Amino acid sequence: MLHPDFDTLLVASRRHLKKKERRSIILKKVGAISGREARARATEEVRLAGFLHHPRIARVFDFVVHDGTPFVVMEHAKGSFLFTLLDLAAAVEYRLPTPFAVHVAAEVADALAYAHECEDDMGTPLHIVHRAVGPMRIRLTLDGRVKLTNFGAAYSELAGRMPTPRDLLRGDPAYIAPELLRAIFAANQRKSDPLAPKELDGRADVFSLGLVLLEMLTAKYPLDPLGLLPERPATRFPPGIRTERPTWIGLDVLANRVLRFGTEEVSRATGFVSEPLRAILIRALAADPGQRYPTAADLRDDLRGYLREVAGPSYGRQQVMAEVQTVVRMATERKKLAAQPMEYGVLPDLEDLQDEANGG
């Protein structure tokens, strides 16, 4: 939703861009916090983004403050979030093709591989972990590019970074890796900091991306099946923990679904996919991070190898653009666009897509 004084913010934000640059931008409010902490986190996000220069990562330019509220000034690539595309596809009962899903996941894995290995100006590893990989942080542009957005919840070892409040669960709980949940439960027993465990690394993002890939392939959120939820949750979420973003199911329910999600559930959900792709998903979604892909680069390489086998080496932006256009056209014809309040005014229209397809 746009801020009521969006025009004022837009004018203010333009002062932070070079005059010769003409860019579409978006202004993202900083979390559910306010005051000095919000400004400090906005500053930290901009500082961290200063080290992230990759074609598959959306740029962050600066931040502006309006009426005491900081907004991060981010690159806005015309297109839609993957969340919106999945929602539209579900509305018209359309399953995204396997090559499309694999390509999108491979592009995100490439962005994560870069972020995980990023260093500061002194060559010191930053050990970045996104912590919020999900369909609302993956953007599909009108010209078929895939961009990972929003490192605002990222863990890093950036010098001078703010510690995470002990009662705040950062990132996206709906796509959280099980080792983060286990760390929270263990820390609750020893009264230590549970939300930035030393063992946290890029494998947590690999798990989150595995869930996103599975969601694209199956056309449903992987942790929805009722069979994943016991009649009485065996594990209770530690009291007093709050989430950075609202959750649509209780943390007890979510935690039990994540911790019960394993090889058997992945195999059952992917009965229709080929054995090589099922093996990739099983490894990406291993409950034990030691059994998971050790790096996002390894996952990317396997996904790209699989894609070459099933779709050839030329699968890329043109095919992504055509697929988005297909889904939007189907939704338009069935008059479903009005049911997408999450991204009102951002979803591409058919004329824009057709112009891109024709090179306009």
| CATH, residue 265 | 1.10.510.10
| Stretch 144-166: mean pLDDT | 78
Residue 340 covered by a domain: no
Same domain? For 112 and 217 the reply is yes
Which ranges constitute the DSSP H helices of the chain? 6-14, 35-49, 82-91, 98-116, 178-190, 203-218, 251-260, 263-269, 275-284, 296-311, 317-333, 350-357
Both 47 and 14 in one domain: the answer is: yes
Tell me: pLDDT of 4 over 90.
Answer: no
Confidence at residue 167, expressed as pLDDT on a 0 to 100 scale: 65
Question: Which residues in 314-324 are b (16+ Cβ under 10 Å) and which e?
Answer: ebeeebbbebb
State which residues form the domain around 100. 79-317
Query: For a pLDDT cut of 70, what percent of the chain falls above it?
Result: 70
- Whether residue 120 is found in the same domain as residue 251: yes
Question: Within this chain, do residues 65 and 149 fall inside the same structural domain, yes or no?
Answer: no
Is residue 297 scored above 90 in pLDDT?
yes
pLDDT of residue 73: 79
Do 62 and 172 belong together in one domain? no
CA distance 261 to 214: 13
* 187 and 94 within one domain: yes
What is the band of 1 on the pLDDT scale with cuts at 50, 70, 90? Answer: very low
Question: pLDDT tens for residues 161-170?
Answer: 666 666 667 7
What's the CA gap between 182 and 109, in Å, rounded? 24
Residues 67 and 194 in one domain: no
Q: Within a domain: residue 112? A: yes
What phi, psi does 180 have (nearest 5°)? -70, -40
Instruction: State yes or no: pLDDT of 136 exceeds 50.
Output: yes
Confidence of residue 31 (pLDDT cuts 50, 70, 90): low
Place of tokens 């058997």: 264
More confident residue, 228 or 267: 267
Domain match, 62 and 211 both: no
Predicted local confidence at residue 342, as pLDDT: 40
DSSP for 54-88, please give it. Answer: -TTB--EEEEEEETTEEEEEEE--SEEEHHHHHHH
191-206: per-residue pLDDT in tens?
555 455 566 899 999 9
The predicted pLDDT at position 20 comes to 46
Task: Indicate whether 157 belongs to any domain.
Answer: yes
Tell whether 68 and 105 lie within a shared domain: no
The number of distinct structural domains making up the chain is 2
Q: Which of 317, 334, 353 is the last residue of a domain?
A: 317
